Structures are given as C-alpha cells and as structure tokens.
Amino acid sequence: MTDHSLKKNFEALFKHSPEIVGYAPGRVNIIGDHTDYNQGFVLPAAIQMGTHIAASRRDDNQICAFAGGFTQTIDQFPLDNIEYCHDEMWRNYVRGTLQCLRQHNNEFSGMNLYIAGNVPQGAGLSSSASFEIALLKTVTDLYSLDLGGVDAALIGQAAENSFVGCNCGIMDQLVSAMGLENHAMVLDCRDLSIKDAPIPEGTAILVVNSNVKRGLVDSEYNSRRSQCETVAQILGVAALRDLSVSQLQNAKLLLTDEQFRRARHVITENDRTMDAMAAMQANDLTRLGQLMAESHASLRDDYQVSTAELDGLVEIMSTVIGASGGARMTGGGFGGCVVGLMPEQKVAEVTAAVQQQYQQRFGLEPNIYQCTASMGAFRC
C-alpha cells in the first residue's frame, strides 16, 4: 500500500487527514539463527517489505487502531487500562508495545491509527517486529518523543516477551530500527553493538516463503530457549555464547544428547556468523554459501527446527546456485522462509527451478521475493 492510498483510507475511516505516516521494515536473517537469545551474534538485513501506520493525535486517552492490512477490524482501548486481548492477536502487539513504551516514556496520549503491512505473517520475516517498531516510530514522531533506535528495539522486545508471550531475542527489532541500506548488520546481542557489513555488489537476496505456517508462541520456540538456558546453567556460564566447541565437548557427559546438540548448534552458529561477516567483506560468495549450508544442516539436525519443505527448498535452490552462493532456512523455523544469496544473473534460473519443482514435490505454492537491504526506521 502506498502512502497516498494509506492516507486516503485513513481519511475515509476517521474523517480527517493523518498527521504523519510511520514505517518500519521487516528483516531477513542471512545467518545466525537462535543465537540472539543466547547473547550471541546475528547477521540480518532489513528488507523493503514492512509496516506503514497513518496516525493522528486525539484529545482523549483512547487508542483507536484499525488493522487495514490484517483483519479489517478496529481495536479501541484506554491508555491507562491496557489489558490482554484473547480475540485477535494483532491487538496485543498494539497494546503491549504502547504499555511498554509508557513504562519508558509516558509523554503521549490518545491516537487514531490505520495500520497496513506487506510482510508475510508467520513466514519468519519479522512481521511482528516490523509492526512494533513502526508503531514506536509513529508515536515518537507524532509526539516528538526522545526515543532512539536501540531503546525502541528493547521496548519492542519487551512487548513480545512480557505481553504477547513470545520469548524472542533482540535481533528482529534492532535491525528493523537500525538497518542500513545495501548492508547487512552484524549484531552482538550481548552489548547491542552493531557493525554494518556491505552486501557484495551484484549479489541478489532471494527469499522463498514455503507457505508452511507456524506461530512462534504456539511452537517449540520457547522450549528451545529454555533448553539453552538450562545448558548454560548446568555448565556455569551466563549464556551459551561463553562456551567454545571444545568446552562443550569436554562437558558432554553432563548433558543429555538433546541438550548437547542444541548447545552445539548455538556455539557453531556464532562462529559461522562471524566467518560470514568476513566472507561478505571479502566479497567471497563461495565461502558464504558454504557457511549457509553448514548453518542449515545444523538447524535441521542439531536444533531440529527445519521441515521437509524447507529442506526441499534449500536443495532446489542450492543445486542451481552451486558454488556461487548459498541457501538456508531463515527465522525461527518450523516453517516460514528460505533465504538465498547469489549473483543477480542467477535469480531467474533459481526462481524457475523453485516454481517448477516445489509445488510438485510438496503440494504448496511458494511465494518468491527478491529483497533489497533497506534502511531501518530509526536510522533514517
């Protein structure tokens, strides 16, 4: 939806023009999955799909939010009495984000909000983080709040953790807030420091939605986090980020086989993420592709969050890409998307292979997006 059509829709609903339109992008994670809540390293990029919110101030303390791109329903509630809603989950992203913002800065009051987005929901491209950061950017601009990108990311994460009920890490919100055009972001999830890593020139980012739907709150995502925290506690470290592969191997007898494999994925994925940054800086797509293949195998075998459909997509894409890039599942897993990096001239061939083979093998029609690394909402 364009800003012009969003404003028109706002006017039709609320009978006046919006004062501003806020926006925040979704993200694709190139490598480094299930490392963020283990205080490790991730390498995501903000993408050109995101959430737009047209907004105006109100004279009262009421929030009136319309989910134009979601359920076509209105949620209205007072800011001084925000309660969890059991009917439609999108309402809790509005309510939780505003409640957590009020704990940080309560110098705002009522608003009319018209929300529209084009990030596929449940696909692993962070539609929820895009939603939260777009809302925080909108309120910040509408009420001239003093709120930076890192604080916005922490507020968005707190909303998901404490209100929505998903124990996500910080990666999704931070890259949505602080991503840089034509760059991926290396994020240290312990101290929240970031480094911009340039996407090699001539490289395409292709995201394929398997259309295997999954909901993080209802999936095994939270149990994976709990397993990692248990291993860290058993081995006496603050987080799995503090362990090496050799240290884990020496402690293998203290752990169940499942605990060992979960930890091994996190530790090796941290190493792969830092190696991937070096490969990007060296413009080495062959090495980057090798690391992506290793990452997918680890997510499939050690972390057990892949599916047959995701494995099939990776196989189809990797066969065409060859040594000129790579593909892997991306996001929380249990469905969602595969990301591929490849020379731009390979995009048509990879797209054709996915279209020809995926539905035939799995009975699902894929959605294919060529993504560009985009600017974060608070980086502008």
How large is the greatest C-alpha to C-alpha distance in the chain, in angstroms? Answer: 67
pLDDT of residue 254: 97
Task: Sort strands 111-117 and 62-67 into parallel, antiparallel or unpaired.
Answer: parallel
Q: What is the mean pLDDT of residues 189-195?
A: 95
Mean pLDDT of the chain: 94
Give one word for 106, left, alpha or beta, with left for phi > 0 and alpha for psi -120 to 50.
alpha
Q: How confident is the model at residue 241 (pLDDT cuts 50, 70, 90)?
A: very high
pLDDT category of residue 167 using cuts at 50, 70 and 90:
confident
Task: Single out the residue of 69, 259, 44 nearest to residue 170, CA to CA.
Answer: 44
Indicate the pTM of the whole model: 0.90
Say yes or no to pLDDT of 179 above 70. yes
Q: What is the pLDDT, as a whole number, of residue 217?
A: 44
Among 14-18, 116-120, 312-316, name the one with the lowest average pLDDT: 116-120
Residue 374 pLDDT grade (very low, low, confident, very high; cuts 50, 70, 90):
very high
Tell me the per-residue pLDDT of 294-340, one tens digit each, with 9 for 90 and over: 999 999 999 999 999 999 999 999 999 999 999 999 988 888 899 99
Residues of the chain with CATH 3.30.230.10: 3-195
CA dist list (Å): 202 to 6, 199, 292 = 33, 9, 18
What pLDDT band is residue 219 in, cutting at 50, 70 and 90?
low
Fold of 200-371: Alpha-Beta Plaits (3.30.70)
pLDDT attached to residue 216: 54
- Domain(s) of CATH 3.30.70.890: residues in the chain: 200-371
Of residues 280, 336, 331, the one with CA closest to residue 313: 336
Average pLDDT over residues 5-29: 96
pLDDT value for 220: 79
Name the architecture of domain 3-195.
2-Layer Sandwich (3.30)
The pLDDT assigned to 223 comes to 87
Q: Which residues are catalytic?
A: 172
